[in-house]
Amino acid sequence: MASQQVEVVASTADRVKLAAAILLVVAGLVAFYGLVKQPIAAGVGVLLVGLAGGVALGFLSGPGQRLIAFGRDSWSETRRVVWPTRKETMQVTLVVFGFVVAMAIFLWVVDKSLEWVLYDLLLGWKK
């Protein structure tokens, strides 16, 4: 039986940073809706400052640092992927479309056959 690792925010500093980041985002939202009588630029500015501050503070925490490391690893892994050529993509797409059309025809034939067997032969309900 494989054991699963559960990551938790271990340090109190990380908890405080994440709580402060959430409070900054919420404060930005509250300020945005509180400034409805002001010009829209003021409300949007306050909202953006709250969001940017919350995101920046969140990235300074331990989980934020792990998220950044995950993003870097994902980006480097994406660069190593061998992507199909345009020709290969078109060929596979045509095969998929062909299969979809073939399955649609097959299912239509099965449906009409069952309809004929049930309604015409067994029940005698002719149209």
pLDDT tens string 50-102: 999 999 999 998 888 999 999 999 999 999 999 999 999 999 999 999 999 99
Tokens of 77: 């892994």
Q: Compute the distance between CA of residue 74 and CA of residue 49 in angstroms, rounded to an integer.
A: 28
- pLDDT classification of 2: cutoffs 50, 70, 90: low
Q: What pLDDT shows up at residue 49?
A: 94
- pLDDT classification of 3: cutoffs 50, 70, 90: low
Tokens of 47: 């909202």
Give the C-alpha distances (Å, rounded to integers) separating 61 from 55, 92, 93: 10, 44, 44
Would you call 24 exposed, middle or buried from its count of C-beta atoms within 10 A (0-12, 13-18, 19+)? buried
Domain boundaries, the chain: 12-81, 84-127
Tokens of 96: 């998929």
